[in-house]
Chains A and B, each alone.
Chain A
Amino acid sequence: MPHFLIQFAQQHEEFRLPELEALATIEDVEIIYNPEDYSLESPFLIVEIESEEKAARLLKRAILIKTIIELWGKGSSWDDLADKVKQHPERWPQYMDVSFKFSVVCFGGTIEMKDKPAIINRFAFTGFRGKIMLKNPDVEFLLIADCGLDPDNLIPHTFYMGKLIGHGKRDLIDMFNVKKRKYIGNTTMDAELSLIMANQALCVPGKLVYDPFVGTGSFLMTCAHFGAMTVGSDIDGRQIRGKGKTSIRSNAQQYNVEGRVMDALVFDVCHSPWRNIKSGIFDAIVTDPPYGVRAGAKTLGRKDPLKQATEPKMLEDGEYSHTKTDYIPPTKPYEMSEVVADLLMFAVKNLVVGGRLVYWLPTVTEEYSIDDLPTHPSMELIANCEQSFGQWSRRLITMEKVAEWDGKETLGPPTGEMSRSKTSSTNSIGHFGFRDKYFAFGNLESSRRKKILKELYDKGGREAVRAYMKSEGEKKRQEAAATSTANVDAK
């Protein structure tokens, strides 16, 4: 398969591979790479993708990919790079007579304008005869020098050349910028992360996405932008109604997704009125549960159960208090760990199989730290990415419902693996796509397994890997089935 060079944004590094994997799944593109090539400290990753057309598909909604080029060579100096490019003259003829341009870019350093022509001239051997056009050429070639992240090193160590496939959609970050949004609250989610979450949730036209802690509706906007139908709910009606003329509805108008932001309802997730549909209602649940001081979680009821009323209260005017329009039922605090456990159980019951739960889990705060990730046999962990703020941190968890709920199974034992990011390159398999989750990286994968895969790939290529993964997946499923029946028996 042809090689491509992906240049990621050097930001939210932990989210880059999971997003890439999600994009590959959404667009049905198969990707292979060597996990040892990937580092959080570098924006570059060389991958194999079937075709240029498939590589371009990955860019349609990529937030953390800046650029993809079809890789024509990689070298340790401009000269070395030129030699590598010369080894494949068969690539050139199709670009002989089209308009083109060369661009020279440098990561982690600068190349002065005056030095660029000389660099470009080193590649004159391709003999392209087309017109040079600086604006909108038919093809653009990129010459990339990489100095790395070290601010003290301004000397490039790696050089790449290739044909530009295209750029990601980082301009969406500006479009959804909360500073330009009409209605926001103090827990409105950052635009970039809201977009990444919509990708993680595999939002596409036709799907139904739900945010049970909708607040000002950040996720409804980005999920709807990618075509999904969305609904949200919140215990706090003021959040949904908004202020004056601004509300979730007016934001939907602002982003031109009004037809896809269906409803926002007021209720407590602990007492949710959704009908339980056997095969699940929602294709994804995308949410930022309440936590901390700013948006502390509450649930209906009173702290002291003895004080909680069991009968409606008659007011002096002969009406019941709860029928008044300004009635606000009492609430009590709702523990973070309970919130998350309830959310996971809600997902187990209400997601369709193959549906995703994408949510934030604060892990270290001043008040508490969670070190266990709740699990359920019906839910498989897809990605676990940390965003650290120094004082505190949170994790974006992506899970996929992999099996129908049997109506009994409760949350599984905690894994104790909370603090392990799921995408660290030491425990990933560099192969995903085709909706085959067993190709995806897993933090359960041992290095031994990785070695097996590498050997298989060297010997029998992709087919061999795929066959192995299939049989492993089957085994895993059988084991899971066996242990879950064992669990039921034990109860």
Chain B
Amino acid sequence: MLQCHVKGCNANNFPLELQEVVLEEQEAELNEDFLRNMLGKLEYEALVATCLKLNIQDLPPTIPEDAAYNDDFLQKLHHALLETHVITGKMVCPNCQHTYVIRDGIPNMLLAEHEV
């Protein structure tokens, strides 16, 4: 859901590519209402592409038609969205190559002086 926002970088600036990541998995309670809420808001292809980079391979390439009530799918989505945390790593813009650093699980998306 994040894109590059460097000044002038308006096209091909999504999804940010994760690199050199350290992941942490943390079990979380399944929240179906939330997942259903997110179904309409996610850019699913970008999510799948990002997950593949992280070696999370169980998401189907397209959203199943019955996604909202498909327990198996919701469980996988839950795992990808809410149980997988990037602790350290970089998010790189596919267009301008700006690198956003993630440290202690906190992405730093501040722009530099010349980028605003």
Judge whether A277 and B107 touch: CB under 8 Å.
no
Interfacial residues of chain B within 20-72, with CB under 8 A of chain A in the complex: 28-29, 31-34, 36-38, 40-41, 43
Q: How many residues of B contact A (CB 8 A)?
A: 35
* Cβ-neighbour of A273 out of B5, B28, B99 (below 8 A): B5
Q: Given A206-B31, A229-B31, A283-B37, decide whether A327 and B112 contact each other with a Cβ distance below 8 A.
A: yes
Q: Is the CB of B2 closer than 8 A to any CB of chain A?
A: yes
Q: Is the CB of B11 closer than 8 A to any CB of chain A?
A: no
With CB as the reference atom, state the residue of chain A lying closest to B1: A275
Judge whether A275 and B14 touch: CB under 8 Å.
yes
Judge whether B43 and A329 touch: CB under 8 Å.
no
Judge whether A323 and B99 touch: CB under 8 Å.
yes
Q: Which one of B2, B37, B82, B106 has the greatest number of beta carbons of chain A within 10 Å?
A: B106
Q: Is the CB of A85 closer than 8 A to any CB of chain B?
A: no
Q: Is the CB of A186 closer than 8 A to any CB of chain B?
A: no
Judge whether B112 and A266 touch: CB under 8 Å.
no
Judge whether A241 and B106 touch: CB under 8 Å.
yes
Q: Given A240-B106, A271-B5, A329-B111, decide whether A300 and B101 contact each other with a Cβ distance below 8 A.
A: no
Q: Which one of B28, B31, B40, B113 has the greatest number of beta carbons of chain A within 10 Å?
A: B113
Interfacial residues of chain B within 70-116, with CB under 8 A of chain A in the complex: 82, 99, 101, 103-116
Q: Is the CB of B4 closer than 8 A to any CB of chain A?
A: yes
* Cβ-neighbour of A206 out of B33, B43, B111 (below 8 A): B33
Q: Is the CB of A272 closer than 8 A to any CB of chain B?
A: yes
Judge whether A277 and B5 touch: CB under 8 Å.
no
* Cβ-neighbour of A205 out of B1, B33, B116 (below 8 A): B33
Judge whether A300 and B111 touch: CB under 8 Å.
yes
Chain A proximity of B86: nearest CB distance (Å): 10
Q: Chain B contacts of A312 at CB under 8 A? A: 112, 114
Q: Chain A contacts of B31 at CB under 8 A? A: 205-206, 229, 259-260
Q: Is the CB of A268 closer than 8 A to any CB of chain B?
A: yes
Chain B proximity of A138: nearest CB distance (Å): 35
Judge whether B105 and A237 touch: CB under 8 Å.
no
A267 to B2 alpha-carbon distance, docked (Å): 12
Judge whether B106 and A237 touch: CB under 8 Å.
yes
Judge whether A264 and B110 touch: CB under 8 Å.
no
* Cβ-neighbour of B1 out of A259, A281, A325 (below 8 A): A281
Q: Chain B contacts of A229 at CB under 8 A? A: 31, 34
A302 to B108 alpha-carbon distance, docked (Å): 20
Q: Chain B contacts of A311 at CB under 8 A? A: 114
Chain A proximity of B95: nearest CB distance (Å): 13
Q: Chain B contacts of A279 at CB under 8 A? A: 40-41
A322 to B43 alpha-carbon distance, docked (Å): 30
A275 to B28 alpha-carbon distance, docked (Å): 25
A240 to B114 alpha-carbon distance, docked (Å): 25
Judge whether B104 and A241 touch: CB under 8 Å.
yes
Q: Is the CB of A469 closer than 8 A to any CB of chain B?
A: no
Judge whether B28 and A208 touch: CB under 8 Å.
no
A273 to B43 alpha-carbon distance, docked (Å): 15
Judge whether A329 and B108 touch: CB under 8 Å.
no
Chain A proximity of B88: nearest CB distance (Å): 11
Q: Is the CB of A301 closer than 8 A to any CB of chain B?
A: yes
Judge whether A281 and B110 touch: CB under 8 Å.
no
Q: Given A237-B108, A265-B106, A277-B41, decide whether A271 and B34 contact each other with a Cβ distance below 8 A.
A: no
Residues of A participating in the B interface, judged by any CB pair closer than 8 Å? 205-208, 229, 233, 235, 237, 240-241, 249, 258-260, 262-268, 271-275, 277, 279-281, 283, 300-302, 308-313, 321-323, 325, 327, 329-330
Q: Told that A205-B33, A308-B113 touch, could you supply 5 new A-B pairs with CB distance under 8 A? A: A267-B109, A283-B37, A301-B113, A322-B114, A329-B116
24 pairs of residues in contact across A and B, judged by CB atoms under 8 Å: A205-B34, A206-B31, A206-B34, A207-B37, A208-B38, A235-B110, A240-B106, A260-B31, A263-B107, A265-B108, A266-B106, A266-B109, A266-B110, A267-B110, A273-B4, A274-B2, A277-B41, A281-B1, A302-B113, A308-B114, A309-B113, A327-B112, A329-B110, A329-B116
Nearest 8 CB-CB pairings of A with B: A206-B33, A322-B112, A259-B28, A267-B109, A273-B2, A273-B5, A300-B116, A266-B108
